Protein backbone atom coordinates (compact mmCIF):
# COMPACT_ATOMS: atom_id res chain seq x y z
CA UNK A 1 0.00 0.00 0.00
CA UNK A 2 2.85 2.39 0.73
CA UNK A 3 3.86 2.55 -2.91
CA UNK A 4 0.42 3.81 -3.77
CA UNK A 5 0.67 6.80 -1.43
CA UNK A 6 3.94 8.08 -2.93
CA UNK A 7 2.75 10.61 -5.51
CA UNK A 8 5.00 11.35 -8.50
CA UNK A 9 6.43 14.85 -8.87
CA UNK A 10 4.91 17.58 -11.03
CA UNK A 11 8.03 17.93 -13.15
CA UNK A 12 8.59 21.45 -14.41
CA UNK A 13 5.18 22.41 -12.97
CA UNK A 14 3.67 21.16 -16.23
CA UNK A 15 0.40 20.11 -14.58
CA UNK A 16 0.13 23.49 -12.86
CA UNK A 17 0.80 25.29 -16.15
CA UNK A 18 -1.80 23.14 -17.94
CA UNK A 19 -4.47 23.92 -15.33
CA UNK A 20 -3.57 27.62 -15.45
CA UNK A 21 -4.10 27.61 -19.24
CA UNK A 22 -7.31 25.56 -18.86
CA UNK A 23 -8.60 28.12 -16.33
CA UNK A 24 -7.79 30.91 -18.76
CA UNK A 25 -9.54 29.05 -21.58
CA UNK A 26 -12.79 28.53 -19.66
CA UNK A 27 -13.43 32.28 -19.35
CA UNK A 28 -12.10 33.45 -22.72
CA UNK A 29 -15.60 33.41 -24.33
CA UNK A 30 -17.26 35.52 -21.62
CA UNK A 31 -14.40 38.01 -21.36
CA UNK A 32 -13.81 38.52 -25.08
CA UNK A 33 -17.47 39.24 -25.73
CA UNK A 34 -17.79 41.46 -22.66
CA UNK A 35 -14.64 43.50 -23.38
CA UNK A 36 -15.72 44.00 -27.00
CA UNK A 37 -18.90 45.81 -25.96
CA UNK A 38 -17.71 49.00 -27.69
CA UNK A 39 -17.32 47.11 -30.98
CA UNK A 40 -20.78 45.54 -30.71
CA UNK A 41 -22.43 48.80 -29.70
CA UNK A 42 -20.71 50.48 -32.65
CA UNK A 43 -22.43 48.03 -35.00
CA UNK A 44 -25.76 48.49 -33.24
CA UNK A 45 -25.99 52.27 -33.65
CA UNK A 46 -28.83 52.22 -36.17
CA UNK A 47 -31.96 54.32 -35.89
CA UNK A 48 -35.67 53.66 -35.93
CA UNK A 49 -38.06 56.04 -37.66
CA UNK A 50 -40.81 57.17 -35.32
CA UNK A 51 -43.68 59.10 -36.91
CA UNK A 52 -45.21 62.03 -35.12
CA UNK A 53 -48.15 64.22 -36.22
CA UNK A 54 -45.76 67.02 -37.19
CA UNK A 55 -43.29 64.87 -39.17
CA UNK A 56 -40.77 62.08 -38.78
CA UNK A 57 -38.13 62.03 -36.09
CA UNK A 58 -35.19 59.60 -36.10
CA UNK A 59 -34.72 57.94 -32.72
CA UNK A 60 -31.72 55.79 -31.87
CA UNK A 61 -32.80 52.25 -31.01
CA UNK A 62 -31.56 51.06 -27.61
CA UNK A 63 -30.47 47.42 -27.58
CA UNK A 64 -29.21 47.29 -23.95
CA UNK A 65 -26.36 45.15 -25.25
CA UNK A 66 -24.43 44.90 -21.96
CA UNK A 67 -27.51 43.73 -20.03
CA UNK A 68 -28.58 41.15 -22.60
CA UNK A 69 -25.03 39.93 -23.12
CA UNK A 70 -24.62 39.41 -19.36
CA UNK A 71 -27.97 37.64 -19.01
CA UNK A 72 -27.57 35.39 -22.07
CA UNK A 73 -24.04 34.52 -20.95
CA UNK A 74 -25.05 33.44 -17.47
CA UNK A 75 -28.40 31.71 -18.02
CA UNK A 76 -26.89 28.93 -20.17
CA UNK A 77 -24.10 28.67 -17.62
CA UNK A 78 -26.73 27.91 -14.96
CA UNK A 79 -28.77 25.53 -17.16
CA UNK A 80 -25.82 23.56 -18.52
CA UNK A 81 -24.12 23.40 -15.14
CA UNK A 82 -27.23 21.57 -13.96
CA UNK A 83 -27.19 19.32 -17.04
CA UNK A 84 -23.49 18.66 -16.51
CA UNK A 85 -24.30 16.85 -13.24
CA UNK A 86 -26.14 14.27 -15.39
CA UNK A 87 -23.75 14.40 -18.33
CA UNK A 88 -20.67 13.51 -16.28
CA UNK A 89 -22.19 10.13 -15.44
CA UNK A 90 -22.99 9.32 -19.08
CA UNK A 91 -20.31 11.11 -21.12
CA UNK A 92 -16.61 10.85 -20.38
CA UNK A 93 -14.70 13.93 -19.20
CA UNK A 94 -12.46 13.73 -22.29
CA UNK A 95 -15.42 14.06 -24.66
CA UNK A 96 -17.07 16.82 -22.60
CA UNK A 97 -13.91 18.92 -22.28
CA UNK A 98 -12.35 18.39 -25.72
CA UNK A 99 -15.75 18.57 -27.48
CA UNK A 100 -16.68 21.83 -25.72
CA UNK A 101 -13.36 23.41 -26.70
CA UNK A 102 -13.84 22.42 -30.35
CA UNK A 103 -17.33 23.98 -30.49
CA UNK A 104 -16.12 27.14 -28.71
CA UNK A 105 -13.34 27.43 -31.30
CA UNK A 106 -15.84 27.11 -34.17
CA UNK A 107 -18.10 29.80 -32.65
CA UNK A 108 -15.15 32.18 -32.22
CA UNK A 109 -14.24 31.62 -35.88
CA UNK A 110 -17.85 32.46 -36.82
CA UNK A 111 -17.68 35.68 -34.77
CA UNK A 112 -14.40 36.65 -36.46
CA UNK A 113 -15.89 36.01 -39.92
CA UNK A 114 -18.97 38.14 -39.10
CA UNK A 115 -16.69 41.15 -38.57
CA UNK A 116 -16.32 41.38 -42.35
CA UNK A 117 -19.97 40.56 -43.17
CA UNK A 118 -22.33 43.58 -43.54
CA UNK A 119 -25.55 42.94 -41.65
CA UNK A 120 -28.68 44.82 -40.63
CA UNK A 121 -28.59 45.80 -36.94
CA UNK A 122 -31.50 43.67 -35.71
CA UNK A 123 -30.20 40.57 -37.47
CA UNK A 124 -26.65 41.20 -36.20
CA UNK A 125 -28.00 41.58 -32.66
CA UNK A 126 -29.93 38.28 -32.94
CA UNK A 127 -26.98 36.36 -34.38
CA UNK A 128 -24.63 37.78 -31.73
CA UNK A 129 -27.00 36.88 -28.88
CA UNK A 130 -27.43 33.34 -30.27
CA UNK A 131 -23.64 32.99 -30.51
CA UNK A 132 -23.25 34.23 -26.93
CA UNK A 133 -25.86 31.72 -25.73
CA UNK A 134 -24.27 28.69 -27.43
CA UNK A 135 -20.66 29.60 -26.72
CA UNK A 136 -21.45 30.00 -23.02
CA UNK A 137 -23.45 26.74 -23.01
CA UNK A 138 -20.34 24.85 -24.11
CA UNK A 139 -18.32 26.99 -21.71
CA UNK A 140 -20.55 25.85 -18.83
CA UNK A 141 -19.98 22.17 -19.64
CA UNK A 142 -16.25 22.87 -19.94
CA UNK A 143 -16.04 24.82 -16.67
CA UNK A 144 -18.10 22.32 -14.66
CA UNK A 145 -16.06 19.40 -15.95
CA UNK A 146 -12.75 21.11 -15.18
CA UNK A 147 -13.81 22.19 -11.67
CA UNK A 148 -14.67 18.56 -10.94
CA UNK A 149 -11.31 17.47 -12.37
CA UNK A 150 -9.15 19.98 -10.50
CA UNK A 151 -10.97 19.14 -7.25
CA UNK A 152 -9.25 15.74 -7.33
CA UNK A 153 -5.79 17.34 -7.15
CA UNK A 154 -4.13 19.09 -4.16
CA UNK A 155 -5.76 22.39 -3.17
CA UNK A 156 -3.07 24.62 -4.69
CA UNK A 157 -4.11 23.44 -8.16
CA UNK A 158 -7.63 24.81 -7.62
CA UNK A 159 -6.07 28.19 -6.81
CA UNK A 160 -3.85 27.94 -9.93
CA UNK A 161 -6.87 27.06 -12.08
CA UNK A 162 -8.87 30.03 -10.75
CA UNK A 163 -5.87 32.30 -11.15
CA UNK A 164 -5.90 31.35 -14.83
CA UNK A 165 -9.59 32.22 -14.97
CA UNK A 166 -8.81 35.62 -13.49
CA UNK A 167 -6.14 36.27 -16.12
CA UNK A 168 -8.62 35.59 -18.95
CA UNK A 169 -10.21 39.01 -18.45
CA UNK A 170 -6.82 40.76 -18.39
CA UNK A 171 -5.87 38.90 -21.57
CA UNK A 172 -9.05 40.11 -23.28
CA UNK A 173 -8.66 43.70 -22.02
CA UNK A 174 -5.07 43.95 -23.29
CA UNK A 175 -6.14 42.51 -26.66
CA UNK A 176 -8.85 45.19 -26.90
CA UNK A 177 -6.40 47.97 -25.97
CA UNK A 178 -4.00 46.82 -28.68
CA UNK A 179 -6.86 46.76 -31.18
CA UNK A 180 -7.92 50.32 -30.24
CA UNK A 181 -4.35 51.62 -30.29
CA UNK A 182 -3.51 50.08 -33.68
CA UNK A 183 -3.51 52.19 -36.82
CA UNK A 184 -5.65 49.61 -38.63
CA UNK A 185 -9.24 50.40 -39.58
CA UNK A 186 -11.96 49.33 -37.17
CA UNK A 187 -12.89 46.16 -39.10
CA UNK A 188 -9.31 44.89 -39.31
CA UNK A 189 -8.71 45.68 -35.64
CA UNK A 190 -11.87 43.80 -34.64
CA UNK A 191 -10.88 40.85 -36.83
CA UNK A 192 -7.48 40.66 -35.15
CA UNK A 193 -9.16 40.91 -31.75
CA UNK A 194 -11.46 37.92 -32.38
CA UNK A 195 -8.72 35.81 -33.96
CA UNK A 196 -6.84 36.04 -30.64
CA UNK A 197 -9.31 33.84 -28.66
CA UNK A 198 -9.27 31.33 -31.54
CA UNK A 199 -5.55 30.86 -30.94
CA UNK A 200 -6.11 30.86 -27.16
CA UNK A 201 -8.76 28.13 -27.42
CA UNK A 202 -6.44 25.99 -29.57
CA UNK A 203 -3.68 26.31 -26.94
CA UNK A 204 -6.22 25.36 -24.25
CA UNK A 205 -7.20 22.22 -26.19
CA UNK A 206 -3.55 21.18 -26.60
CA UNK A 207 -2.99 21.77 -22.86
CA UNK A 208 -5.83 19.40 -22.00
CA UNK A 209 -4.50 16.73 -24.37
CA UNK A 210 -1.05 17.09 -22.77
CA UNK A 211 -2.53 16.82 -19.26
CA UNK A 212 -3.78 13.29 -19.87
CA UNK A 213 -0.21 12.18 -20.66
CA UNK A 214 1.43 13.56 -17.50
CA UNK A 215 2.14 11.01 -14.74
CA UNK A 216 1.39 13.43 -11.89
CA UNK A 217 -2.06 14.24 -13.28
CA UNK A 218 -2.83 10.58 -14.00
CA UNK A 219 -1.97 9.66 -10.40
CA UNK A 220 -4.58 12.01 -8.91
CA UNK A 221 -7.24 11.81 -11.59
CA UNK A 222 -7.32 8.01 -11.31
CA UNK A 223 -6.82 7.96 -7.54
CA UNK A 224 -10.44 7.46 -6.55
CA UNK A 225 -10.88 4.43 -8.77
CA UNK A 226 -7.54 2.97 -7.72
CA UNK A 227 -8.32 3.54 -4.05
CA UNK A 228 -11.65 1.79 -4.21
CA UNK A 229 -10.26 -1.10 -6.24
CA UNK A 230 -7.24 -1.56 -3.96
CA UNK A 231 -9.33 -1.33 -0.78
CA UNK A 232 -11.79 -3.91 -2.06
CA UNK A 233 -8.98 -6.26 -3.16
CA UNK A 234 -7.18 -6.00 0.17
CA UNK A 235 -10.33 -6.57 2.22
CA UNK A 236 -11.17 -9.59 0.08
CA UNK A 237 -7.67 -11.00 0.59
CA UNK A 238 -7.81 -10.41 4.37
CA UNK A 239 -11.27 -11.90 4.57
CA UNK A 240 -10.14 -14.92 2.55
CA UNK A 241 -7.12 -15.53 4.80
CA UNK A 242 -9.07 -15.22 8.06
CA UNK A 243 -12.03 -17.12 6.65
CA UNK A 244 -9.84 -20.06 5.56
CA UNK A 245 -8.18 -20.21 9.00
CA UNK A 246 -11.47 -20.55 10.86
CA UNK A 247 -11.75 -24.04 12.39
CA UNK A 248 -15.47 -24.34 11.77
CA UNK A 249 -15.09 -23.31 8.12
CA UNK A 250 -17.86 -20.66 8.17
CA UNK A 251 -18.14 -18.61 5.00
CA UNK A 252 -17.27 -14.90 4.82
CA UNK A 253 -19.94 -12.64 6.31
CA UNK A 254 -21.74 -15.21 8.49
CA UNK A 255 -23.35 -13.72 11.60
CA UNK A 256 -21.19 -15.40 14.26
CA UNK A 257 -18.02 -13.39 13.51
CA UNK A 258 -16.08 -11.92 16.44
CA UNK A 259 -16.78 -8.23 15.87
CA UNK A 260 -19.90 -6.27 14.95
CA UNK A 261 -23.41 -7.42 14.40
CA UNK A 262 -22.40 -9.34 11.30
CA UNK A 263 -18.94 -10.33 12.40
CA UNK A 264 -15.51 -9.17 11.29
CA UNK A 265 -16.08 -9.92 7.64
CA UNK A 266 -17.73 -7.66 5.07
CA UNK A 267 -19.66 -8.82 2.06
CA UNK A 268 -18.91 -7.26 -1.33
CA UNK A 269 -22.13 -5.26 -1.06
CA UNK A 270 -21.10 -3.88 2.36
CA UNK A 271 -17.63 -2.95 1.09
CA UNK A 272 -19.24 -1.00 -1.78
CA UNK A 273 -21.54 0.80 0.68
CA UNK A 274 -18.63 1.82 2.89
CA UNK A 275 -16.65 3.15 -0.06
CA UNK A 276 -19.64 4.74 -1.83
CA UNK A 277 -19.65 8.48 -2.35
CA UNK A 278 -21.89 10.63 -0.18
CA UNK A 279 -25.17 11.86 -1.66
CA UNK A 280 -25.42 15.33 -3.16
CA UNK A 281 -27.51 16.52 -0.20
CA UNK A 282 -24.97 15.19 2.31
CA UNK A 283 -22.19 17.03 0.48
CA UNK A 284 -24.28 20.21 0.28
CA UNK A 285 -24.87 20.19 4.05
CA UNK A 286 -21.11 20.33 4.55
CA UNK A 287 -20.38 23.08 2.01
CA UNK A 288 -23.52 25.25 2.12
CA UNK A 289 -21.70 28.24 3.65
CA UNK A 290 -19.14 28.23 0.82
CA UNK A 291 -21.99 27.79 -1.69
CA UNK A 292 -23.75 30.85 -0.26
CA UNK A 293 -20.53 32.88 -0.35
CA UNK A 294 -19.72 32.17 -4.00
CA UNK A 295 -23.35 32.85 -4.98
CA UNK A 296 -23.47 36.17 -3.13
CA UNK A 297 -20.08 37.38 -4.40
CA UNK A 298 -21.08 36.86 -8.04
CA UNK A 299 -24.57 38.25 -7.50
CA UNK A 300 -23.05 41.54 -6.34
CA UNK A 301 -20.35 41.56 -9.03
CA UNK A 302 -22.56 40.82 -12.04
CA UNK A 303 -25.37 43.15 -10.92
CA UNK A 304 -23.21 46.17 -11.80
CA UNK A 305 -20.34 44.81 -13.90
CA UNK A 306 -20.39 45.46 -16.81
CA UNK A 307 -24.03 46.62 -17.20
CA UNK A 308 -23.47 49.75 -15.03
CA UNK A 309 -19.69 50.18 -14.98
CA UNK A 310 -19.30 50.05 -18.79
CA UNK A 311 -21.52 53.16 -19.07
CA UNK A 312 -19.31 55.32 -16.85
CA UNK A 313 -17.84 58.27 -18.77
CA UNK A 314 -14.52 59.98 -18.20
CA UNK A 315 -14.33 63.49 -16.80
CA UNK A 316 -11.55 64.29 -19.31
CA UNK A 317 -11.86 64.90 -23.03
CA UNK A 318 -9.58 63.96 -25.90
CA UNK A 319 -7.88 60.68 -26.89
CA UNK A 320 -8.28 59.33 -23.34
CA UNK A 321 -12.01 58.88 -24.02
CA UNK A 322 -11.23 56.03 -26.45
CA UNK A 323 -9.27 54.13 -23.81
CA UNK A 324 -11.11 55.04 -20.60
CA UNK A 325 -13.57 52.13 -20.39
CA UNK A 326 -11.06 49.56 -21.65
CA UNK A 327 -8.51 50.67 -19.04
CA UNK A 328 -10.49 51.85 -15.98
CA UNK A 329 -13.37 49.39 -16.26
CA UNK A 330 -12.20 46.16 -17.93
CA UNK A 331 -8.43 46.15 -17.43
CA UNK A 332 -8.57 47.43 -13.84
CA UNK A 333 -11.31 44.97 -12.89
CA UNK A 334 -9.63 41.97 -14.47
CA UNK A 335 -6.18 42.76 -13.07
CA UNK A 336 -7.71 43.23 -9.61
CA UNK A 337 -9.78 40.06 -9.91
CA UNK A 338 -6.75 38.06 -11.06
CA UNK A 339 -4.56 39.44 -8.25
CA UNK A 340 -7.29 38.69 -5.71
CA UNK A 341 -7.48 35.06 -6.90
CA UNK A 342 -3.70 34.67 -7.04
CA UNK A 343 -3.01 36.04 -3.56
CA UNK A 344 -5.02 33.16 -2.04
CA UNK A 345 -2.03 30.90 -2.75
CA UNK A 346 -0.18 32.93 -0.08
CA UNK A 347 -2.94 34.24 2.21
CA UNK A 348 -6.07 32.38 3.26
CA UNK A 349 -7.95 34.59 5.71
CA UNK A 350 -10.51 34.25 7.19
CA UNK A 351 -10.26 30.49 7.71
CA UNK A 352 -12.99 28.27 6.30
CA UNK A 353 -14.55 27.74 9.75
CA UNK A 354 -14.63 31.46 10.65
CA UNK A 355 -18.02 33.20 10.87
CA UNK A 356 -16.29 36.38 9.71
CA UNK A 357 -15.91 34.94 6.20
CA UNK A 358 -19.60 35.12 5.14
CA UNK A 359 -19.96 38.46 6.97
CA UNK A 360 -17.22 40.05 4.85
CA UNK A 361 -18.82 38.59 1.73
CA UNK A 362 -22.18 40.21 2.62
CA UNK A 363 -20.48 43.58 3.17
CA UNK A 364 -19.55 43.64 -0.54
CA UNK A 365 -23.13 44.72 -1.29
CA UNK A 366 -21.95 48.26 -0.47
CA UNK A 367 -20.13 48.40 -3.81
CA UNK A 368 -23.45 48.49 -5.68
CA UNK A 369 -24.52 52.02 -4.61
CA UNK A 370 -20.90 53.26 -4.80
CA UNK A 371 -20.61 52.31 -8.46
CA UNK A 372 -24.11 53.54 -9.31
CA UNK A 373 -23.16 56.98 -7.96
CA UNK A 374 -20.18 57.24 -10.33
CA UNK A 375 -20.44 59.16 -13.62
CA UNK A 376 -22.75 56.65 -15.35
CA UNK A 377 -24.37 58.10 -18.47
CA UNK A 378 -27.19 58.26 -19.40
CA UNK A 379 -28.87 58.46 -16.00
CA UNK A 380 -32.44 59.17 -14.94
CA UNK A 381 -32.77 59.30 -11.15
CA UNK A 382 -29.59 59.16 -9.06
CA UNK A 383 -27.12 62.05 -8.72
CA UNK A 384 -23.43 61.78 -9.63
CA UNK A 385 -21.33 61.79 -6.44
CA UNK A 386 -18.04 60.33 -7.71
CA UNK A 387 -17.46 62.18 -10.97
CA UNK A 388 -13.66 61.99 -11.09
CA UNK A 389 -11.92 59.12 -12.91
CA UNK A 390 -9.68 58.46 -9.90
CA UNK A 391 -12.66 57.82 -7.60
CA UNK A 392 -14.18 55.34 -10.04
CA UNK A 393 -10.83 53.58 -10.49
CA UNK A 394 -10.24 53.19 -6.74
CA UNK A 395 -13.74 51.77 -6.22
CA UNK A 396 -13.19 49.36 -9.13
CA UNK A 397 -9.87 48.16 -7.70
CA UNK A 398 -11.41 47.31 -4.30
CA UNK A 399 -14.48 45.83 -5.99
CA UNK A 400 -12.34 43.57 -8.18
CA UNK A 401 -9.85 42.51 -5.50
CA UNK A 402 -12.60 41.44 -3.10
CA UNK A 403 -14.47 39.61 -5.86
CA UNK A 404 -11.50 37.52 -6.97
CA UNK A 405 -10.26 36.86 -3.43
CA UNK A 406 -13.55 35.67 -1.92
CA UNK A 407 -14.54 33.62 -4.97
CA UNK A 408 -11.23 31.79 -5.01
CA UNK A 409 -11.33 31.15 -1.25
CA UNK A 410 -14.88 29.78 -1.47
CA UNK A 411 -14.05 27.47 -4.37
CA UNK A 412 -10.83 26.27 -2.71
CA UNK A 413 -12.35 25.73 0.73
CA UNK A 414 -15.35 23.66 -0.40
CA UNK A 415 -13.48 20.45 -1.39
CA UNK A 416 -11.60 20.58 1.94
CA UNK A 417 -14.87 20.26 3.87
CA UNK A 418 -15.70 16.82 2.43
CA UNK A 419 -13.97 13.45 2.08
CA UNK A 420 -11.59 13.18 -0.85
CA UNK A 421 -13.88 10.79 -2.71
CA UNK A 422 -16.60 13.54 -2.60
CA UNK A 423 -14.35 16.34 -3.87
CA UNK A 424 -15.67 16.04 -7.42
CA UNK A 425 -19.28 16.29 -6.21
CA UNK A 426 -18.36 19.34 -4.12
CA UNK A 427 -16.68 20.94 -7.16
CA UNK A 428 -19.73 20.33 -9.34
CA UNK A 429 -22.07 21.76 -6.67
CA UNK A 430 -19.91 24.86 -6.23
CA UNK A 431 -19.90 25.37 -10.00
CA UNK A 432 -23.71 25.30 -9.96
CA UNK A 433 -23.89 27.93 -7.18
CA UNK A 434 -21.25 30.01 -8.96
CA UNK A 435 -23.49 29.95 -12.04
CA UNK A 436 -26.54 30.73 -9.89
CA UNK A 437 -24.85 33.85 -8.52
CA UNK A 438 -23.87 34.96 -12.02
CA UNK A 439 -27.44 34.48 -13.27
CA UNK A 440 -29.03 36.32 -10.32
CA UNK A 441 -26.56 39.17 -10.76
CA UNK A 442 -27.26 39.34 -14.51
CA UNK A 443 -31.01 39.52 -13.81
CA UNK A 444 -30.54 42.28 -11.24
CA UNK A 445 -28.47 44.33 -13.69
CA UNK A 446 -31.63 45.37 -15.60
CA UNK A 447 -33.45 47.12 -12.70
CA UNK A 448 -30.23 48.52 -11.24
CA UNK A 449 -29.24 50.09 -14.56
CA UNK A 450 -32.77 51.51 -14.92
CA UNK A 451 -32.60 53.04 -11.42
CA UNK A 452 -29.46 54.99 -12.31
Whole-number pLDDT of residue 60: 60
Q: Tens place of pLDDT for every residue, the chain, 452 residues?
A: 444 456 788 888 899 999 999 999 998 888 999 888 878 888 887 544 433 344 444 456 778 888 889 888 888 888 877 776 666 667 888 898 999 999 999 999 999 999 999 999 999 999 999 999 999 989 888 887 888 788 788 878 888 898 888 788 888 999 989 888 887 777 888 889 999 999 999 999 999 999 888 888 888 877 644 544 444 444 434 444 434 433 333 333 333 433 443 334 444 444 444 467 788 899 999 999 999 999 999 999 999 999 999 999 999 988 899 899 999 999 999 999 989 988 988 899 999 999 999 999 999 999 999 999 999 998 989 999 999 999 999 999 999 999 999 999 998 899 889 988 888 788 778 878 988 998 999 999 999 999 99
pLDDT at residue 48 in the model:
43
Cis peptide before 350 (omega within 30 of 0): yes
- Give the angle 206-338-402 at the CA atoms, nearest 5°: 145
Say if residues 200 and 60 touch (Cβ distance below 8 Å).
no
* Chosen CATH of 11-49+60-221+277-451 out of 3.40.50.720, 1.20.1250.20, 3.40.50.300, 1.10.287.3510: 1.20.1250.20
- What pLDDT is recorded for position 232? 41
The whole model's pTM is what?
0.75
Q: Is 326 left (phi over 0), alpha (psi -120 to 50) or beta?
A: alpha
Structural domain boundaries in the chain: 11-49+60-221+277-451, 232-244+253-273
Interacting residues of 248 by C-beta distance below 8 A, sequence separation 6+: none
Supply the pLDDT for residue 16: 92
Q: Which residues contact 356 (CB under 8 A, 6 or more apart)?
A: 350
Provide the greatest CA pair distance for the chain: 109
271: left (phi over 0), alpha (psi -120 to 50) or beta: alpha
Amino acid sequence: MNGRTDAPQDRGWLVGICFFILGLGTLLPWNFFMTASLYFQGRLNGTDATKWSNGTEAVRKEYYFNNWMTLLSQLPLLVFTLLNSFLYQRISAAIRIAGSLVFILLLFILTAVLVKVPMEEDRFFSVTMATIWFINSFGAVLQGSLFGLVGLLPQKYSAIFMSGQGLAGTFAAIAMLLAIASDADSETAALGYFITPCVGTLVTLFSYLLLSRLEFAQHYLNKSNKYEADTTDEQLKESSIVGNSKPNGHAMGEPDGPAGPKGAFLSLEEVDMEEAKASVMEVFKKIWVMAFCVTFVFTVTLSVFPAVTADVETSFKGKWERFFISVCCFLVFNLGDWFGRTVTTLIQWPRKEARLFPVLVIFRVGFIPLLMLCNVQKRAFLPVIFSHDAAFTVIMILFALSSGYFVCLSMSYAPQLVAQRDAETAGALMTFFLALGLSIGAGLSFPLRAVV
